[in-house]
Amino acid sequence: MEPLYSTVFGPCGIGDHTLAEISGPPNSGKSLVLQQLIAHCALPYRFGGRQWKVFLISLSHKITRESLGKVVRAELQAFSKGEGEPPAEEELTEIAMQCIGRVSFIKCSSTADVKYTLSNIPFVELVAMDTLGEFYWLDAAAGNHNVTKYRYYRQYQGYLDRICKTEMMVCGMYTVDSRFVNSRYNEEIPGAKIDYKLELRPRGRVFMNRMPLSFRNGIIEISQEAD
C-alpha cells in the first residue's frame, strides 16, 4: 500500500486542506482503495502510517468495521514482512483494534442524514465519504431535486471542500461513480479543486491526475504520457 499511497499523495503524504477523489465504474474497487488509503492514514507511525483520526461517512454501507479491519491487518502484515521479524499475532490484533478505534463510522440513509453529519464533524485529520452519489435517484424519485448527476456531484464536492478549507488540518477523500464526474451537457459549474484524482478505469487501468499508473518490479510508477 505504501507505493500507492506515495504515488497518489507524494513523498510527504496527503496535504492539509486538500481533496482526493477516487472514481470509477460500478464494482471497480473504489471502496476497497478507499479502505486501503484510510488504513494507511490510521496506522501507527512505526508501521509507516499517519496515526490520524478519521471520520468515515458511508452512504452505501459497503464499508464496515469488519471489512476495514481486514484491510488494516493486511497492511500491517505487508509492512511487517519488510521489517524483519513481524510482531506476534496478538500484537497485530491489538494494533489493528487501535487503528479501527481511530475511525468514526457514520452510516447515512438519506441526503438529510449526510448534510446533518457534515455539519457536525468533530476534530479529525481526515473526512472520508464512500459512494458520493448514492442517494441521487432516491432524491429524484422523491422530487427533492431536478438536477443533473454532474451538478449533484459538484454540490456534494463543495460540501466536503468547505469543510477541508475552513477546518484546521483537515483533508477530504471520497469515492464516486465515474458517470457523475463528467457533464453530458457541457455544464460549467464552479466547484472545488480536486488535488488528487485517482481514476479506476475498465480493464484494470489506473490513472492519477490523468497520468496512467504502471507497475514495474512491484513498484507503482506514473507514466510521463498524459491521457
Over residues 75-129, the pLDDT tens digits come to 888 887 766 667 788 888 999 999 999 999 999 999 999 999 999 998 899 999 9
Domain count of the fold of the chain: 1
CB 128 within 8 A of CB 55: yes
Question: Is the residue at 184 inside a domain?
Answer: yes
What CATH number has the domain bearing residue 32? 3.40.50.300
Instruction: List, for residues 158-179, the tens digit of each pLDDT value.
Output: 999 988 887 666 899 999 999 9
Question: Is the residue at 152 inside a domain?
Answer: yes
Question: Is the residue at 227 inside a domain?
Answer: no
What's the pLDDT score for residue 3? 55
Q: What one-letter code names the amino acid at 200?
A: L
One DSSP character per residue, 88-155 reads: PHHHHHHHHHHHHHTEEEEE--SHHHHHHHHTS--S-SEEEEE-TTTTHHHHHHTTS----HHHHHHH
Name the one residue in this structure whose C-alpha cell is 494494533.
95
What's the pLDDT score for residue 181? 94
- In the structure grid, which three cell numbers stand for residue 212, read together? 496512467
Q: What one-letter code names the amino acid at 225?
A: E
**What is the average pLDDT score of the chain?**
86
In this predicted structure, the answer to whether residue 10 has a pLDDT above a threshold of 70 is no
In this predicted structure, the answer to whether residue 226 has a pLDDT above a threshold of 60 is no
Phi, psi of 193, rounded to the nearest 5 degrees: -85, 125
Report the distance separating Cα 104 and Cα 56, nearest Å: 6
Question: Is the residue at 124 inside a domain?
Answer: yes
Give percent above pLDDT 90 in the chain.
Answer: 56
Question: Is the residue at 99 inside a domain?
Answer: yes
Instruction: List, for residues 39-73, the tens digit of each pLDDT value.
Output: 999 999 988 889 999 999 999 999 999 999 999 99
CB 44 within 8 A of CB 95: yes
What's the pLDDT score for residue 1? 47
Question: Is the residue at 112 inside a domain?
Answer: yes
Q: Residue 164: give the domain boundaries.
A: 2-222
CB 39 within 8 A of CB 227: no
153 closest CA partner among 9, 16, 23, 28: 23
Mean pLDDT, range 22-42, rounded to an integer: 94
Mean pLDDT, range 175-204, rounded to an integer: 90
Question: What residues does 19 pair with on adjacent strands?
Answer: 172
Report the distance separating Cα 104 and Cα 109, nearest Å: 16
In this predicted structure, the answer to whether residue 184 has a pLDDT above a threshold of 90 is no
Question: Is the residue at 20 inside a domain?
Answer: yes
Better-scored residue on pLDDT, 54 or 187: 54
pLDDT-derived band of residue 217, with 50, 70 and 90 as boundaries?
A: very low
In this predicted structure, the answer to whether residue 4 has a pLDDT above a threshold of 80 is no
In this predicted structure, the answer to whether residue 25 has a pLDDT above a threshold of 80 is yes
Question: Is the residue at 122 inside a domain?
Answer: yes
What's the pLDDT score for residue 56? 98
Instruction: Output the CA torsion sign for 87, 88, 91, 95.
Output: positive
- In the structure grid, which three cell numbers stand for residue 75, read together? 497492511
Q: What DSSP state is assigned to residue 45?
A: G
- In the structure grid, which three cell numbers stand for residue 25, read together? 465504474
pLDDT-derived band of residue 221, with 50, 70 and 90 as boundaries?
A: low
Longest dimension (CA), the chain: 59
